[in-house]
Amino acid sequence: MDLNDQTEHKVFREEVRTFLDGNKHLAPGESAFSFRMRPRNLAEDVRRWQGLLVDHGLTSRTIPKAYGGYGADVDILKSRIIADEFFAANVIQGLGNQGISMLVPTMLEHGTEEQKQRYIRPTIRSEIVWCQGYSEPNAGSDLASLTTSATEDGDDFIINGQKIWTSGAHIAEMIFCLVRTEPDAPKHEGISYIVFPMDTPGIEVRPLQTMTGSPSFNEVFFTDVRVPMANVVGNRGQGWVVANSTLKHERGLLGDANRSLDSLLRVRKLLQNESLDGRPLMENPLFRDRFIRLQARVQAMRLHEMRMITEAGKGKGRGLGDMVVKLLGCELNHQLDGLGIDILGEIGVLYDDSPLLRDGGAWQANFMFDLGLIIGGGTAQIQKNIISERGLGMPREPKVAQA
Amino acid sequence: MDFGLSEEQELIRDSFQGTLSRISDLDTVRQTAEAGASMDKSIWGELCALGMAGLLIGEDYGGAGLNLLEAAVVAEELGRRVTPVPFVASAVMAPLAIGLGGDEEQRREWLPGMADGSLRLGVAVSEAAAGAREDASVTAASKGNDNVLNGRALFVLDGAGADAYVVADGTGGLHLVRAGESGLDTVDLKTIDRTRAITELRFDNTPAEPLRQGDGVLQTIIDAGRVTLAADSLGAGEVMLQQAVDYAAERKQFGRPIASFQAVKHMCAEMASELQPCRALVWYGAYTMEHDPGGLSLAAAFAKSHVDEVGRFVARTATEVHGGMGFTDLMGLHYWFKRLGVNRAYLGSPERVRAEAARLQGFAA
């Protein structure tokens, strides 16, 4: 065990710091903390910043040069150094939206050469924003029972059906979508993964008002939407396998220990700055104990991530240690938000433009938004199924006989 | 960065794992515990032959000259097997106390015998680490040319049958007291965990030899002990989870293994999730002793308090997965349950340790 940077990484860390020193004034002003509260606002400065990071290999590092990336070898430690240095400088990192984090790796794995050439470069530069058309009203945790249909018509598919919980559909230019192309095949074998523009005729997006008060996801209705069959990614009917490689990427994205550390430091600031009966709340032993409890958890997650990075670097495959990260990370973030609200007491219930509001109301918004993340991307209960079945080797629940 | 064990450390783990699987099976543990012995001499002998007692003792004194991370690796294996041998005090805290706090003469006198296992020491620091119960307190005084101790020390780790004791006085000074010294009474305290012994020491003008360079050593040995207990709990917790998973696969109700019921699976998934990050906390705590000594106390506090909480959750949940069988003596699951319970209380409960963590960071006076 040696937690110091070796020479190559020491040099790399210096390079990242130099970049930040020279360029951080160009970064979009919003910190990740407030940024989380609403759908990614892709103002011009955000896109420019993203392009700059791509050019310097500070995001999408390992995407091949031929597709607009930096073409670096996979070095999970360097990714970690980038994340840590951006975090320390309080500068927002490269975007981690669904196109970049989910579509691009999937396309690299399953796409045709033409698809890769066409989509990857503009996606990583955020010139194309994507949404994910997976869940349906009756296909949530049981995603494979989805019914949105795609029927052949010449060289095209005609798509009909409905998606729900589609984050960012109201601002997306493209969608990657699961549709049923072989209605007679067993449910996991009749699905295809297909991509198409959101301005294709026949698509209607209806924002879903959420508990946070800001619409972040949508219902999307398809009525006779015509999409070329060439837009299928991977083989027709193999969409389940393709989608699972995407979900794997999403799960990795959701549990980020730096995000937890950021919340923890903000909670600490609240404890030090907020007072009750004229005394800082950090002097209250009950709040202090709750804080230290969560601090130990954040520390555990950060160190655990380092252990997982080391194992991945040694070529060990995804194991139990990786499977628990989404479940634990999302729960931890929600607990941190909850402590923040409790520290604020009555002030913590203020919202919108109320006087006395702290941090722009972010604590309440995140307390709700982070509950959404516990549910989204595979609910906590689905995570526990995965952990027990794939991680611990426990049997699946027997299938209920069809009536 | 490399956050993992070296090949040498993996070899140490494997050799202890191999030996323990042969010599520390549940029947042996049960025999030792039921005889009230709290220590199996033949297991102790074999483990000392593997170098267990001398792990942290310098090579100049007959030890292996290794670090706390190696001790944590061994502690995890002992926890897995609920092995009835003294370790945390005899092989970690006492060697560090003398190695760091003793002068050359004291090191020469004590460490070689401790390294080969022929001398065993108990450690009396409970009042400093966990707070004083009853009226326990120890004071040191000069009497003529001699240094003597008065008072009472409770919950002395690995105290039963020890050849000597490392004793903390109320000001943080450390002393060596030989067993059988005049003015020394020992009272063995039976605990719910029969795999390790604790003792009460009563001093009445008892001659004691101060550790001559002992400043600041007390906190270091407490920190090292906390990391070691956390490692022991990690091993014990991992085994309880595995036993729950195995039992659930065998036990059938409603025509299928209970492992296929989500209620049972989710209990196991929660245990696995809580346990997984504990390893990194324990390893990091151990690593700081050598590489970031200024960070040891805080890292040890996080490791101890967090693994204590996870340990309680796992002990309870794994027992529950076993249904009525978990409650019986038959399965022997209770040895792990009790081991985890005792580890939690030793050297500072989670609340106590978290309060220390707050003070260390300047959050409390």
CATH domain B217-360 topology: Butyryl-CoA Dehydrogenase, subunit A; domain 3 (1.20.140)
Q: Please, which pLDDT band fits residue B30 given cuts at 50, 70 and 90? A: very high
C-alpha distances (whole Å) from A199 to each of A44, A161, A225, B365 are 21, 16, 10, 62
The verdict on a CB contact (< 8 Å) between B280 and A306 is yes
Query: With 50 as the cut, is the pLDDT of residue A254 above it?
Result: no
Our CA angle for A338, A32, A78, nearest 5°, is: 115
Q: Please, which pLDDT band fits residue A18 given cuts at 50, 70 and 90? A: very high
Closest Cβ opposite residue B276 in set A2, A324, A388: A324
Q: How far is B206 from chain A (nearest CA, A)?
A: 40
Domains and CATH numbers, chain A: 7-95 (no CATH), 130-237 (2.40.110.10), 255-391 (1.20.140.10)
Q: Which residues in chain B have their CB less than 8 angstroms from residue A9's CB?
A: 1
Query: With 70 as the cut, is the pLDDT of residue B137 above it?
Result: yes
Q: What is the mean pLDDT of residues A80-105?
A: 84
Q: How far is B165 from chain A (nearest CA, A)?
A: 33
The verdict on a CB contact (< 8 Å) between B280 and A300 is yes
Query: Chain A interface, mutation test: which of B67, B284, B291, B296, most A Cβ atoms within 10 Å?
Result: B284
> Is the C-alpha dihedral spanning B7, B9, B15, B21 positive or negative?
negative
C-alpha distances (whole Å) from A300 to each of B22, B156, B306 are 33, 30, 9
Q: Please, which pLDDT band fits residue A201 given cuts at 50, 70 and 90? A: very high
Q: Which residues in chain B have their CB less than 8 angstroms from residue A306's CB?
A: 1, 3, 280
**Helix-then-strand count for chain B, H and E:** 13, 10
For residues A237 and A185, the answer to whether their CB atoms sit within 8 Å is yes
Matching residue, tokens 């007959």: B62
pLDDT in tens, A136-147: 999 988 899 999
Query: Chain B interface, mutation test: which of A324, A388, A390, most B Cβ atoms within 10 Å?
Result: A388
Nearest one of A308, A132, A10, A184 to B280, comparing CA atoms: A308
Closest Cβ opposite residue A293 in set B3, B260, B354: B354
User: What six digits make up the tokens of A163?
Assistant: 């998606």
Q: How far is B270 from chain A (nearest CA, A)?
A: 7
- Side chain identity, residue B220: T
The verdict on a CB contact (< 8 Å) between A391 and B269 is yes
Nearest one of A167, A176, A168, A122 to A148, comparing CA atoms: A176
Nearest one of A294, A263, A270 to A343, comparing CA atoms: A270
Confidence (pLDDT) at B27: 93
Q: What is the mean pLDDT of residues A188-211?
A: 94
Query: Chain A interface, mutation test: which of B273, B312, B321, most A Cβ atoms within 10 Å?
Result: B273
Distance, in Å, from the CA atom of A50 to the CA atom of A127, rounded to the nearest integer, reads: 10
Quick count: other Cβ atoms within 10 Å of Cβ A348? Answer: 20
User: What six digits make up the tokens of A128?
Assistant: 């194309």
Closest Cβ opposite residue B280 in set A4, A304, A387: A304
Closest Cβ opposite residue A387 in set B248, B272, B357: B272
Distance, in Å, from the CA atom of B280 to the CA atom of A328, rounded to the nearest integer, reads: 15
Q: Please, which pLDDT band fits residue B37 given cuts at 50, 70 and 90? A: confident
Q: CA-nearest residue of chain B to A319?
A: B276
Closest Cβ opposite residue B259 in set A6, A303, A394: A394
Nearest one of A278, A249, A291 to A105, comparing CA atoms: A249
Count of pairs with CB atoms under 8 A, one residue in A, one in B:
155
Q: Which residues in chain B have their CB less than 8 angstroms from residue A387's CB?
A: 269, 272-273
How would you write A121-165 as a 3-class SS string? Answer: HHHHCCCCCEEEECCECCECCCHHHCCCEEEEECCEEEEEEEEEE
Which residues of A are designated catalytic?
250
What own/partner pairs with CB < 8 Å and gap ≥ 24 does B30-38 have?
Answer: B30/B332, B30/B335, B32/B84, B32/B194, B32/B195, B33/B84, B33/B194, B33/B195, B33/B335, B34/B194, B36/B190, B36/B194, B37/B84, B38/B84, B38/B160, B38/B194, B38/B195, B38/B196, B38/B197
ipTM: 0.96
The verdict on a CB contact (< 8 Å) between B1 and A77 is yes
Query: With 90 as the cut, is the pLDDT of residue A44 above it?
Result: no
Q: Which residues in chain A have their CB less than 8 angstroms from residue B280's CB?
A: 300, 303-304, 306-307
Matching residue, tokens 């991945």: A312
The verdict on a CB contact (< 8 Å) between A296 and B354 is yes
The verdict on a CB contact (< 8 Å) between B270 and A9 is no
Beta-strand pair B137-143/A275-276: unpaired
Q: Is B307 on the interface with A (CB under 8 A)?
A: no
Domain B7-120 listed as CATH 1.10.540.10: yes
Q: Please, which pLDDT band fits residue B215 given cuts at 50, 70 and 90? A: confident
Burial string for A24-62 (b: 16+ CB within 10 Å, else e) reads eeebbebebbebbbebbebeeebbebbbbbbeebbbbbb
The verdict on a CB contact (< 8 Å) between B265 and A2 is no
The verdict on a CB contact (< 8 Å) between B3 and A3 is yes
The verdict on a CB contact (< 8 Å) between A384 and B265 is yes
Per CATH, the architecture of B122-210 is what? Beta Barrel (2.40)
Which of A23-37, A117-131, B185-199, B222-236 shows the lowest mean pLDDT across its residues?
A: A23-37
Q: What is the mean pLDDT of residues A371-393?
A: 92
The verdict on a CB contact (< 8 Å) between A384 and B358 is no
Largest CA distance in chain A: 75
Q: CA-nearest residue of chain A to B361?
A: A292
Quick count: other Cβ atoms within 10 Å of Cβ B220? Answer: 20
Do you know the residue count of chain B?
A: 365
Q: Please, which pLDDT band fits residue B171 given cuts at 50, 70 and 90? A: very high
Q: Is B306 on the interface with A (CB under 8 A)?
A: yes
Query: With 80 as the cut, is the pLDDT of residue A97 above it?
Result: no
Element (H, E) at B269: helix B262-291
pLDDT in tens, A300-320: 999 999 898 888 878 787 789
Q: CA-nearest residue of chain B to A307?
A: B3
Distance, in Å, from the CA atom of B12 to the CA atom of A171, rounded to the nearest integer, reads: 57
User: What six digits make up the tokens of B229?
Assistant: 């207990």
Which B positions 51-80 lie with beta carbon below 8 A of chain A? 69
Q: Which residues in chain B have their CB less than 8 angstroms from residue A289's CB?
A: 351, 354-355, 358
More confident position, B36 or B240? B240
Query: With 80 as the cut, is the pLDDT of residue A246 above it?
Result: no
Query: With 90 as the cut, is the pLDDT of residue B365 above it?
Result: no
Beta-strand pair B209-210/B198-207: unpaired
Confidence (pLDDT) at A249: 56
Q: What is the mean pLDDT of residues A221-245?
A: 94
C-alpha distances (whole Å) from A58 to each of A81, A261, B47 are 10, 21, 51
Q: Is B328 on the interface with A (CB under 8 A)?
A: no
Query: Chain B interface, mutation test: which of A299, A309, A314, A327, most B Cβ atoms within 10 Å?
Result: A299
> Where do the domains of chain B lie?
7-120, 122-210, 217-360
Q: CA-nearest residue of chain A to B241?
A: A392
The verdict on a CB contact (< 8 Å) between A388 and B265 is yes
